[in-house]
Amino acid sequence: MAKILAIETSCDETAAAIVSDRQVLSNLVASQIATHQKYGGVVPELASRQHVTSIGQLIAAALEVAGLDWSAIDGVAATCAPGLVGALLVGLTAAKTLALVHNKPFIGIHHLEGHLYASYLSNPELTPPYLCLLVSGGHTSLIQVRGCGDYAVLGQTRDDAAGEAFDKVARLLGLGYPGGPIIDKLALGGNPDAFSLPEGNISLPGGGFHPYDSSFSGLKTAVLRLVERLRAEDIELPVADIAASFQAAVARSLTRRTLRCALDHNLSTISVGGGVAANSALRQHLQAGASQQGLRVIFPPLNYCTDNAAMIACAAAEHFRLGHTSSLSVAAQSKMPITQVMALYA
Ligand code: KG4
Ligand code: ZN
């Protein structure tokens, strides 16, 4: 069983972990939320600097918690795309250097493939084919998983990602950053039927709607208009009701498209990954809808939904098992489609 040490620094979490295939031996995350909170979002340069400060201690702690030294490690992995380039570079450079110094193979990992592999940590028996709903701060995609590194994108957002919509709506309600967890918590005390909000349908030229693609910018604008109207009428903002109604609209939109896509493609298992997979309304809606249709749905535990290095290590262990290792010249890239992950092992 391959033991992989992985580093994740694509955005605002510095993370290091060790897995043995699909078993987590250590998983450390240093959140930067306190650093970015006062700016209302991630400041890339501050993220890079904070990664530089934290990464060394986290790697040492990952080895210590796992009770291992370098002789037991089979490979070193790092996220190399997509993400903030300056932030990615910190983890990528650390991983390449450690691979070189300790004479271990290096495995570059696509961040979204990491989110996809989070489901294997809680459900090690999961096997393709299945459908993965990937919902993070930067991406919203329906991915047909045919095998390791073999992905087809069947649906995606045309504008804002689901997590981005949560963050923007939280900002316009004056709730702070990151918006997803704050809205989720507030929504518990609100009425999801208080306001009727659009589900972000994409019209097709010949009529009807795209079955799998979505839009979240219209939903965000609808919340903005609602807030403006209530303010103009001098009504105190019913923040919990707005949060609950917004969250329910996102959950309904994602659930409808995901179930339609799974049924159309004969995929009886759905996995969910990315920070928005932690959302309680999405979990409830999708679980209920999938059960009704006789489909199985897998949600990783909350700490594997948001950014972490265990998921990166898990994806790397699979690539390593298949003989996929990367050159030390693999670059950090801000954008890279998940369909091109095999280019990292050429
Ligand atoms: O996957 P992730 O940690 O980082 C990216 O790869 O983007 O996702 C972060 C996103 C943020 O937009 C955050 O607001 C959202 O996930 N998020 C949530 C929840 N927890 C995190 N959105 C809705 N409900 C949550 N409970
Ligand atoms: Zn992520």
- Distance (angstroms) between ligand 1 centre and the Cα of 279 equals 8
Taking all residues of the chain, what is their mean pLDDT, rounded to a whole number?
Answer: 97
Q: What pLDDT is recorded for position 284?
A: 98
Region of 294 (left: φ > 0; alpha: ψ -120 to 50; beta: rest) is: left
User: By CB neighbour count within 10 A (0-12 exposed, 13-18 middle, 19+ buried), where does 67 fall?
Assistant: exposed
278-328 residue pLDDT tens: 999 999 999 999 999 999 999 999 999 999 999 999 999 999 999 999 999
Report the pLDDT value the prediction gives residue 190, as an integer from 0 to 100. 98
What is the per-residue pLDDT across 65-96, written as a single tens digit (0 to 9) for each?
999 999 999 999 999 999 999 999 999 999 99
Please determine, for residue 179, whether its predicted confidence score (pLDDT) is greater than 90.
yes
pLDDT in tens, 237-266: 999 999 999 999 999 999 999 999 999 999
CA–centroid distance, 268 to ligand 1, in Å, is 26
Residue 43, pLDDT > 90, answer yes
What is the model's pLDDT at position 40? 87
**107-155 tens-digit pLDDT:** 999 999 999 999 999 999 999 999 999 999 999 999 999 999 999 999 9
Q: Residues lining ligand 1, CB < 6 A?
A: 11, 136-138, 163, 166-167, 178-181, 184, 274-276, 278-279, 306-307
Whole-number pLDDT of residue 178: 92
Residue 36 near residue 55 (C-beta atoms within 8 A): no
Over residues 43-54, the mean pLDDT reads 96
User: Distance (Å, rounded) from C-alpha 255 to C-alpha 222?
Assistant: 20
Nearest CA to ligand 1 atom 7: 137
Residue 89 pLDDT: 98
**For residue 157, is pLDDT > 90?**
yes
The CA 178 to ligand 1 mean position distance, Å, reads 7
Query: Which of 276, 285, 312 has most ligand 1 atoms within 8 Å of its beta carbon, as the pocket-test mutant?
Result: 276
- Would you list the DSSP string of 298-340? E---HHHHSS-SHHHHHHHHHHHHTT--B-TTPPP-S---GGG
Distance 9 CA to ligand 2 centre (A): 10
Give 29 Cα–ligand 1 centroid separation in angstroms: 15
Q: Which atom of ligand 1 is closest in space to residue 179's alpha carbon?
A: 14
Q: What does pTM read for this prediction?
A: 0.97
**Token reading at 334:** 């801000």
3-state secondary structure of 30: strand
Q: How confident is the model at residue 48 (pLDDT cuts 50, 70, 90)?
A: very high
Q: Residue 268 and residue 34: Cα distance in Å, rounded?
A: 41
Confidence of residue 191 (pLDDT cuts 50, 70, 90): very high
Q: Which atom from ligand 1 is nearest to the alpha carbon of 273?
A: 1
Ligand 1 pocket mutation, candidates 283, 306, 308, criterion most atoms within 8 A of CB: 306
**Hey, what domains does the chain have and what are their CATH numbers?**
3-118+307-345 (3.30.420.40), 129-304 (3.30.420.40)
CA 99 from centroid of its chain's CA atoms: 26
DSSP state of 273: E
Q: What share of the chain is helix, strand, coil (3-state, %, to 5)?
A: 45, 20, 35
